[in-house]
């Protein structure tokens, strides 16, 4: 039996006694059950997100194709270490569920990138106005630190100064095009664009270059609602900005006209919001983490009762919510939802209750694992082979977005990304990296190793440094530039 205690930082704090007591309870529960200890793993994470898709105790079958099915018991130390928590009872319930589940499953097992949690995520951004009206909380308040580092003026100044140096060099060689294109993907409420453009104007005045006259700042997002909000933020720059609806995972589909022309691509807190799978190496074998979304019996009953439905009707209502959005759902189901706000309350209750069951399934050979369009899993091999057993995110959506954005860059252009990155695979062993829920959206740390490998193969230098403009920030700045 293997016991893996992941949250090393947390264990160093004052939690030692509580964690010891959780471990004692686990050993007790395991002893009572007829579990094959030879095939048992216990993995303890400290799930820092107030809301996530995990129960405090999870059972994860490891389907290795042999008669001896292994089992992983996942424990969230943060919740189980609290004094009111009865770990024994929770373990027994989780183990009993293996034989008879009382959960309402909302989808079949599959890769997490295919899960409906991503439809919830995109609904959140597209119907954010309604969500915020009902919750009373703007999305930025839900970010760690209460605001986005994207609107940090010192960070903007740093980048713009670098851009000016590049443009000065090109101008000297008479190689500077007339139009200076900048692209932001995933603009949120447009605060970053406003700070960036205001700072640009200041620096341009100070430097007397007249670059602002030639600047064109394009804001891309898949949420028309947010593009409207962002456009309003930068109204005073309206001659130099435009907005475009695009899918961040395939920017080239919409932005082909910018190929090799964009001097600066900015993307902040978006990669952590794009779909991702997880893969794992267990005892030297590779596995895909498969998931399926469910509602536990008690919240399903309460939610169903609140709209005069049965729990059995929920999967269909949820599918319609995701397809139609809250406004149309309320129109088509007036008996259940008095108005769009009532449909949003239903949505929020479902979202809060949604969990993801997990199991490990043997991964196909890496060269057959397509983790983003046109990219097979070969790029993962060095990562999976060099580090022993590991469970990590593949960052499929971020990888697709990154690879499809690079061709838009001018040969002297820079892609800059602010996000939560794991840049060293050790990072997966010492903390929980998602998925978590922020308001109605999904968050996962981004596997920087994958992006660095993909960029490197395409002739780009990919560098990571700690975000330098706010102390205590866990944001990393990633840059990609054509290798000299």
Ligand X SMILES: C[S@@+](CC[C@H](N)C(=O)[O-])C[C@H]1O[C@@H](n2cnc3c(N)ncnc32)[C@H](O)[C@@H]1O
Residues that bind ligand X (CB under 6 A): 125, 148, 150, 186-188, 192, 221-223, 226, 246-249, 268-270, 273-274
Helices (H), 60-152: 77-80, 87-97, 117-126, 128-135, 139-142
Minimum CB separation of residue 96 from ligand X in Å reads 38
Q: Residues 6 or more apart from 237 whose CB is under 8 A from it?
A: 194, 197, 217
**Measured CA distances, 434 to 274, 313, 446 (Å):** 12, 30, 9
Residue 34, φ and ψ in degrees, nearest 5: -90, 60
Minimum CB separation of residue 389 from ligand X in Å reads 31
Alpha-carbon distance of 11 to 25, in angstroms, equals 17
Orientation angle between helical segments 153-172 and 191-207, nearest 10 degrees: 50
Minimum CB separation of residue 178 from ligand X in Å reads 28
Q: Which is nearer to ligand X, 222 or 469 (CB)?
A: 222
CB atoms within 10 A of CB 455: 24
Q: Which is nearer to ligand X, 79 or 111 (CB)?
A: 111
Q: Which is nearer to ligand X, 249 or 262 (CB)?
A: 249
Minimum CB separation of residue 292 from ligand X in Å reads 22
Q: Which is nearer to ligand X, 337 or 371 (CB)?
A: 371
Q: Which is nearer to ligand X, 59 or 270 (CB)?
A: 270
CB atoms within 10 A of CB 267: 25
Q: Which is nearer to ligand X, 122 or 376 (CB)?
A: 122
Q: Which is nearer to ligand X, 92 or 122 (CB)?
A: 122
Alpha-carbon distance of 249 to 118, in angstroms, equals 13
Q: Which is nearer to ligand X, 26 or 248 (CB)?
A: 248
Q: Residues 6 or more apart from 261 whose CB is under 8 A from it?
A: 177, 179, 181, 408, 410
Q: Tell which residue, 460, 351, 444, 363, has the closest CA to residue 405.
A: 460
Alpha-carbon distance of 124 to 139, in angstroms, equals 10
Minimum CB separation of residue 472 from ligand X in Å reads 17
Minimum CB separation of residue 331 from ligand X in Å reads 24
Q: How many CA atoms lie within 13 A of 184 on its CB side?
A: 28
Minimum CB separation of residue 257 from ligand X in Å reads 18
Q: Which is nearer to ligand X, 7 or 188 (CB)?
A: 188
Alpha-carbon distance of 291 to 193, in angstroms, equals 37
Alpha-carbon distance of 144 to 139, in angstroms, equals 11
Using CB positions, name the residue nearest to ligand X.
Answer: 188
| Residue 249 near residue 276, CB atoms below 8 Å | no
Minimum CB separation of residue 160 from ligand X in Å reads 17
Three-state SS for 308?
coil
Minimum CB separation of residue 431 from ligand X in Å reads 20
Q: Residues 6 or more apart from 9 whose CB is under 8 A from it?
A: 430, 431
Helices (H), 16-152: 16-32, 77-80, 87-97, 117-126, 128-135, 139-142
Q: Which is nearer to ligand X, 247 or 357 (CB)?
A: 247
Q: Which is nearer to ligand X, 163 or 443 (CB)?
A: 443
Minimum CB separation of residue 262 from ligand X in Å reads 16
Minimum CB separation of residue 269 from ligand X in Å reads 4
275-291: burial string, b at 16+ Cβ within 10 Å, e else: bbbbbbbbeeebbbbbb
């Amino acid at each position: 039996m293997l016991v893996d205690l992941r949250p090393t930082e947390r264990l160093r704090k004052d939690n030692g006694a509580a964690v010891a007591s959780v471990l004692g309870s686990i050993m007790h529960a395991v002893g009572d059950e007829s579990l094959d200890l030879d095939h048992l793993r216990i993995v303890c994470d400290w799930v820092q997100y107030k809301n996530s898709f995990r129960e405090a105790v999870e059972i994860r079958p490891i389907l290795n194709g042999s008669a001896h099915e292994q089992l992983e018991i996942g424990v969230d130390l943060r919740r189980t270490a609290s004094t009111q928590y009865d770990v024994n009872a929770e373990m027994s319930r989780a183990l009993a569920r293996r034989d008879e589940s009382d959960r309402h499953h909302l989808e079949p097992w599959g890769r997490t990138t295919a899960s409906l949690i991503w439809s919830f995520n995109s609904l959140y951004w597209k119907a954010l106005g309604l969500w915020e009206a009902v919750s009373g909380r703007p999305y930025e308040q839900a970010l760690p630190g209460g605001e986005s580092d994207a609107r940090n003026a010192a960070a903007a100044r740093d980048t713009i100064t670098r851009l000016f140096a590049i443009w000065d060099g090109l101008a000297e060689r008479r190689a500077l095009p007339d139009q200076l294109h900048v692209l932001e993907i995933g603009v949120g409420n447009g605060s970053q664009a406003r700070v960036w453009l205001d700072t640009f104007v200041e620096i341009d005045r100070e430097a007397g270059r007249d670059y602002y006259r030639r600047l064109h700042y394009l804001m891309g997002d898949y949420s028309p609602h947010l593009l409207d909000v962002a456009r309003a933020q930068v109204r005073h720059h309206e001659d130099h900005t435009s907005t475009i609806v695009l899918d961040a995972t395939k920017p080239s589909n919409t932005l082909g006209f910018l190929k090799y022309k964009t001097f600066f691509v900015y993307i902040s807190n978006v990669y952590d919001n794009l779909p991702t799978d997880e893969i794992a190496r267990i005892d030297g074998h590779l596995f895909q983490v498969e998931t399926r979304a469910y509602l536990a019996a008690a919240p399903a009953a309460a939610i169903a009762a609140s709209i005069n439905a049965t729990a059995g009707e929920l999967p269909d209502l949820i599918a319609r919510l995701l397809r139609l959005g809250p406004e149309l759902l309320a129109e088509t189901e007036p008996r259940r939802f008095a108005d769009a706000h009532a449909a949003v309350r239903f949505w929020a209750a479902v979202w809060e209750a949604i969990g993801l069951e997990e199991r490990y399934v043997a991964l196909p050979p890496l060269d057959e694992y397509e983790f983003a369009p046109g990219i097979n899993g070969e790029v993962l091999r060095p990562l999976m082979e060099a580090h022993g057993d590991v469970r990590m995110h593949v960052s499929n959506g971020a990888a697709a977005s990154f690879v499809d954005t690079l061709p838009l860059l001018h040969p002297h252009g820079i892609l800059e990304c602010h996000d939560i990155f794991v840049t060293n695979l050790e990072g997966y062993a010492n903390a929980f990296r998602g998925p978590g829920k922020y308001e109605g959206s999904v968050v996962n740390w981004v596997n920087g190793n994958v992006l660095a490998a993909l960029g490197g193969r395409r002739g780009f230098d990919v560098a990571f440094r700690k975000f330098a403009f706010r102390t205590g920030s866990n944001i990393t700045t990633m840059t990609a530039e054509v290798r000299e």
